[in-house]
Every structure is written in C-alpha cells, then in structure tokens.
Chains A and B, each alone.
Chain A
Amino acid sequence: MTYTSIQQDKLEIKDQLGRAPSTTTIGVWGMNEDVVIEELSEVVNLRKIYSSGTDSFILGHPINGILGIASGTGGNQIRLGDYRGSLRLQRVLNPNNVYREYFRDTQFKHSNTNMTWDLTNYALVFSSGSIGQSEIIALNNETYSSCILNLSGTALGNLTPKVSFNGGVNFETVTLGTPYNATNTGTAIMWRLEATGSGTCTKVQLEYS
C-alpha cells in the first residue's frame, strides 16, 4: 500500500488558498508493501453413505446377518450401523487456473513424497535422490495441455521439476518459468520434484490451461 500524509496535504492546500501556489514539496511515504488475500485451491469430494439399510447388519437375516463378509442386498459389504466410505475426488479448482502451495498443510502431499514436507518451517526440504510429489491439483472435467511451473526456495537448480497432465501416468520434465506444452495431455494435473542435491522449496506455483 502507498501512504500519503493526508494531514500534510491539508496543510499545503490550506496554505495555498488565496495565494500563489507554493513550491513546497508534499511529503509522501511509499511503503511499497502489499497485503494480498490469495485464494488457494477448492476441493470438492463425494463420499458414499451406506445408510439406507440395504447393506446394514440385520440380526438373523440370511444375507445381511453376516458382518463384514457377505454382500448385503445393496451390493456392498455388510456394516454395523451407518457407514461412511472414503472421499472420492470430484473437482480441484484454482483461481484463474493458478495453483499455489505454501506447505501449510499436507492436503496435496502424495504418498510417494520422501522429501521432508516441513509444516514447522513451511517448506519442502530435499536432499539428493529424494522425491516430492503432489496429489491431483487440478481437476474439473476438462483437458489440460500446457503449464508454467515456478518455485521459490534455495538451491532449486538441484531439482528436476516434472508435471503430469494425466493423473500421474506420465510425468514430463519442464523448465522452471518457461511455458510448456504437454506431450501427454489429460484431465488431472500433478507436480513432481526429483532432487539431485540438497535445498529447500518454500513455494510451488503452477499455472495451467
């Protein structure tokens, strides 16, 4: 934000009323500082609920009376009481198709990651041979074919950055800060960093289309 001394402005204006304009400089402080509220990812999931009774345990029932083994009349394993299945990812949206990762949580940490996803120092700490990989960071029933990947941190030259456009089937090596057109287009984007030395990554920003 830029801050102008309103009080000083008022004095200058007051001084100039009815007189020749003054040449006195008006004091201005330039803070050159921004406070930005950034929207990060929105994730939409569905979760299966087995609450209709068709797969619930029923004492003495020839099918629904056997816990955990038989398939109930609804076609699923018999559960005791209501049962909530695991989340099924439907959409991952980012404002203006720009994903940002600040390492404040592990929402997008893939199980392949053996770099240190450091939630204390808010960074991805890497050493030679280690891997950092995201879960799907863009998914909206549309095809993606290009991206620009940017990283912040130290010793980023020790990283080989890769992006997958097809949900991790193919990872393609990209150049940081340079537009990249996918060889294998797809509907689900992930990123992957492979380390050849040590360093720290504090931000991942991936623009895509």
Chain B
Amino acid sequence: MVMLQEGLNRVRDLISTDMTLGTLGASGTAAALTDTNLLLPLSATQQSITKTSTDRQVQIDYSLASTSGTSRTFKEFKTHNASYDFDRMVFTGIDFTVNGSDEVSITKKYFIRGT
C-alpha cells in the first residue's frame, strides 16, 4: 500500500486553504512546539497571504507595504488564520520603518512527503 499522490495533494490543499494570514513580530526567542502565538506580535503587520501550489508543495507569499505595519526590528513571522497558528519562524532582526523606502516580502514553502 502507498499514500497516493492524489491523497498527498489533498493534504496539501487542506493546509493551503486553512492558512490565510501572515504576521510579523519582534521576539527573537527560539520557536517551540508549544508556542501558541508570536511572542511579541505586531498586529499592524497582519496581512493576507497568497498561495501557490505545485505537486505536494505549497508556497505562501506575504508582503508588507512600505506604508503599512509598524516601525520595529522584525525577528519572527507566523502563518495562521483567525483561529489557529500554524508555524512560527525566528530570524536575525530586520529593521523596518513605516513610510520608509522599503517593503517586506516573505516566502515560505511546505512539502507533503509520503514514504
């Protein structure tokens, strides 16, 4: 028996459909399985994400316009929806200034692997 490509892609689609938002935060504390939110979420950075699917893979794209968000050093990012958080990622800080000269672009990929 084997998990079919069709079944794996169904799992991908369910994840893709459920994951609708991205938000940045300011905590550099390492991510843990038990996290239920960003540790220092910046609600003004919450944006809808776009998603692109290929075989067993989905890529999410998040963009924060130069006129949006809040002026901080971003150190964490999460994918989520209105009720659930899916993924928290921590990185070395990136400075951002509202109404400055930069916009932020983040991509993240997930792969559904069967064995």
* Chain A interface residues (CB < 8 Å from chain B): 31, 33-52, 84, 87, 90-91, 93, 100, 102, 104-105, 107, 119, 122, 140-142
Contact = CB atoms under 8 A, between A and B. Distances in A.
Contacts of B113: 34-38
B106 A93 contact: no
Dominant secondary structure of chain B at its interface with chain A: strand
A40 B57 contact: yes
A72 to B, nearest CB: 13
For the residues of A in contact with B, the DSSP-based class is strand
B35 interface: no
A75 to B, nearest CB: 11
Contacts of A49: 65-66, 101-103
B94 interface: yes
Nearest to A55: B101
Nearest to B61: A43
B1 A91 contact: no
Given A33-B1, A39-B87, A140-B91, A104 B56 contact: yes
Given A48-B101, A50-B101, A141-B92, A35 B11 contact: yes
A87 B101 CA distance: 13
Given A48-B101, A91-B92, A122-B55, A36 B106 contact: no
Contacts of A105: 54, 57, 59, 109
B112 A35 contact: yes
Nearest to B1: A31
A41 B11 CA distance: 19
Given A47-B102, A48-B102, A38 B114 contact: no
A104 B9 CA distance: 13
A33 B104 CA distance: 39
A100 B91 CA distance: 18
A50 B100 CA distance: 9
Given A104-B56, A104-B57, A46 B106 contact: no
Contacts of A33: 1-3, 114-115
Nearest to A29: B1
A105 B107 CA distance: 13
Given A35-B3, A35-B11, A42 B57 contact: no
Contact of B111 (A38, A48, A50): A38
